[in-house]
Structure 1
Amino acid sequence: MLSKLFELLYHKVFVNIVVGRAQTSVYIQECANKGSIVSESQTFDTTTINSKMHEFIDSFTSESPFFYISILDTSEDQGALPTCVSRDMSKFCDLESSKYMCYKNSWAYYTSKPDLNELEKNYQEVGVDFIFSPFVLLANFFKDKINSSLAIFLLVENNYLSVAVFNNSELLYAQHINMEHTDEHEQLVMEEDRNEAEIDLELDTAINLEEIDALDDVEGVDDFGDIEDLDSFDDIDEFAEEEEQEEEIQEEVITSIEEDAAGFNEDYQRYSLIQSAINRFYKDERYKSEFVQDIYIADGVGVSGDLKRYLEEEMFLNVFVRHLDLCSEISELAKAELK
């Protein structure tokens, strides 16, 4: 009774943390008893908590005893399994150093115990109430589709891809992929595919040398006098200036191509990793594979249209993309935990 009275006097504060490659986003939601919500967010140049982030969080949590701090699991050694029966889990992976939980008594998600301990240690100054699996976030975000279709579901983060195949709420396959730490074989395949794609791109955009006339066909070559007949070096100076201008233009073009290539490479890397994951789903006899035609992408980073094009043209998938605010979705999961 006393706790209910306190809840009427104070609002709830939800602190939601998402760690990226080099930055951390913190999103605050303040919920009053009458349902009104005040939101604020800030990004910090760190992948662990620092003094500025601590001060920002404290400025909100100090206002109410009812605050809840949530973070999206960043462990590399995590995933999901198509069973919730402990004796069957060993068929898919060794969970001796992992902690797992069941999702609606249907499938399980797991993560590394050492990584969990490290995360809790890093945030011990502010405390962590909820650590959410990306697969739980994915299942919640696409619950309208997962419950009624056979499809691939993909969560895109800065460093990670979470791939899952569901058939009418039944998890058939899942894989969590760290884009910066793919295995050597997978990396080799990706590099070969990427090199072929880049060669094709270069061939398409290169100058067709056959269209350049031979030197003998250039009009006026014989009209040039001897070098000794030139009165000054003015022409040579002009030619040098033209060369410098051409070099500057070439440098600008190269810089532009390199910037485009960086985006191309990242999207192509995502595509290659998705393709490898789905091939594993089809070929690994441990999984109940089904032919899948649709993929739903929860885009948490703002991928380009190239990823969609690769999946459509190379894997012949029907691609549906939804933008996702990771911090906001974590806040929704925290609220659901309190109901």
Structure 2
Amino acid sequence: MIEWLYSKIFIAIVPEGENFDVRVVTFKRKKLLTKENKYFEGQSSFEMMMKFLRKQIQESPLHYIAILNPDAKQGALSGCSFNEFDNVLTVCRKNKWHLYTSLQEVETLKKTYSDVGIDFIFSPFSVIEHFFVDKIDTGFALYALAQKDSLSIAFFDEGILEYAHHYPNHAKEVTLSKEEVGSEFTVGIDDELENQKGIDLDDIESLDDLDIIDELDSLSDIEDLDTLEDIVEFHEDEPTLEEKNSVVQNLDEIKQEMDHFNDDYGRFEIIQKTLEHFYASKECRNRFVETIYIADAYGSGSELKRYLEEELFLNVLIRRINVGDEVISLSMNEEEG
């Protein structure tokens, strides 16, 4: 009866480092009323977001807040028979595979959002499964969710997840190591675990170590154009303020392009290393990945697609994804039971 009187509000929070992407969708009697997106960044991003959330939930008692799990140590493994580990929360999926995350992280999230309440915490791998529902059951393939500051990778075979790992801050130094939840083939960020039992493999090299095209070296000289009056040949024809602003804008565009190159190559390296160690493990069972499906949440994966096709000879399918929308869809599924 109450559903006929009040609208339902679904809120999705997608953390991006210190920033937050928030999606709000309102329904009444299953009819879509409103959709709204807010992005909070800067030093007061969390406080501003909480103020916004408090205002939203005052609109109706039927509100549901979900967050994409930001835990750096989360992952997923095949099977639902596993040993209990201290401070590790596990959730079985379809009696075939399970998600794991830090129990401490879950408790921290609940405490952090206690003013508004968190109803659902979703894994990036649940997002992958939901987003590629039309592909998951079609055979053996690699799936990835590429966000601005993270990369989540999962192997599915005929709808069964065999292994998955979440790589936060993908551009930082990365190692491949044995996870504490246990598996013959596991890949992860090795920071706090480096003193625990396991084998630390070679770090993925930073893009700074690459030999970038020689012609691009001259780009650094463009900065000198800000002091054109000091250059004799340009002194008599000093650029206007508009021309100088155009140069600065061009420099910003060049920097963005180089940062994007860095992001795509960093993701490529992680995928490459993950495949190498999968092929070296007994879980491989003479299988080879022919296709990778990428959910692209950061705007463009053209360079990543080129690297994967030319270097690893993979078939690459890239789909743009709004992660907030997927989290909303998962929340609605859970609310409907």
Using the TM superposition, name which of 252-261 and 163-172 deviates more: 252-261
2:173/2:203 contact within 8 Å kept? no
Q: 2:303 aligns with which of 292, 303, 306?
A: 306
After superposition, where does 1:114-129 map in structure 2 within 5 Å?
Answer: 114-129=104-119
Partner of 2:335: 338
**Number of matched pairs:** 293
**Matched residues in 1 for 2:110 and 2:118: separation?**
7
Identical-residue share of aligned pairs (%):
33
Q: In the alignment, is residue 23 of structure 1 matched against residue 19 of structure 2? A: yes
Larger Rg: 1 or 2? 1
1:299/1:324 contact within 8 Å kept? yes
Q: 2:68 aligns with which of 72, 75, 84?
A: 72
Which runs of 5 or more residues in structure 1 are unaligned? 208-237
1:173/1:287 contact within 8 Å kept? no
Partner of 2:205: 190
Partner of 2:163: 173
1:24/1:48 contact within 8 Å kept? no
After superposition, where does 1:1-339 map in structure 2 within 5 Å?
Answer: 5-45=1-41, 50-87=46-83, 95-178=85-168, 179=170, 180=172, 182-183=174-175, 188-191=203-206, 195-198=209-212, 201-202=213-214, 240-242=231-233, 258-286=255-283, 288=285, 290-339=287-336
**Matched residues in 2 for 1:186 and 1:46: separation?**
36
**Matched residues in 2 for 1:316 and 1:31: separation?**
45
**In structure 2, do the counterparts of structure 1 residues 161 and 48 end up closer, same or farther at CA, with 3 Å as the change threshold?**
farther
1:19/1:47 contact within 8 Å kept? no
Q: Map Cα deviations across residues 21-68 of structure 1 (whole Å, 9 max, x no partner).
A: 342011111110152331112111158873422232222211211110
**In structure 2, do the counterparts of structure 1 residues 242 and 330 end up closer, same or farther at CA, with 3 Å as the change threshold?**
same
Residue 242 (structure 1) shift:
1.8
**In structure 2, do the counterparts of structure 1 residues 295 and 197 end up closer, same or farther at CA, with 3 Å as the change threshold?**
farther
Residue 205 (structure 1) shift:
6.4
Residue 197 (structure 1) shift:
4.5
Residue 319 (structure 1) shift:
0.5
- Give the secondary-structure state (helix, strand or coil) at the position aligned to 2:292: strand
**Matched residues in 2 for 1:156 and 1:47: separation?**
25
- Give the secondary-structure state (helix, strand or coil) at the position aligned to 1:86: coil
- Give the secondary-structure state (helix, strand or coil) at the position aligned to 1:96: coil
RMSD value, Cα: 3.0
**Matched residues in 2 for 1:120 and 1:47: separation?**
22
- Normalising by structure 2, what TM-score? 0.78
1:24/1:46 contact within 8 Å kept? no
- Normalising by structure 1, what TM-score? 0.77
Say which structure is richer in helix.
Answer: 1
AA aligned to 1:309 is R
Residue 171 (structure 1) shift:
1.6
AA aligned to 2:232 is E
**In structure 2, do the counterparts of structure 1 residues 144 and 41 end up closer, same or farther at CA, with 3 Å as the change threshold?**
same
**Matched residues in 1 for 2:160 and 2:39: separation?**
37
Which runs of 5 or more residues in structure 2 are unaligned? 176-189, 191-199, 219-228, 238-242
**Matched residues in 2 for 1:72 and 1:47: separation?**
21
- Give the secondary-structure state (helix, strand or coil) at the position aligned to 2:138: coil
**Matched residues in 2 for 1:23 and 1:155: separation?**
18
- Give the secondary-structure state (helix, strand or coil) at the position aligned to 2:205: helix
**In structure 2, do the counterparts of structure 1 residues 309 and 33 end up closer, same or farther at CA, with 3 Å as the change threshold?**
same
Partner of 1:225: none
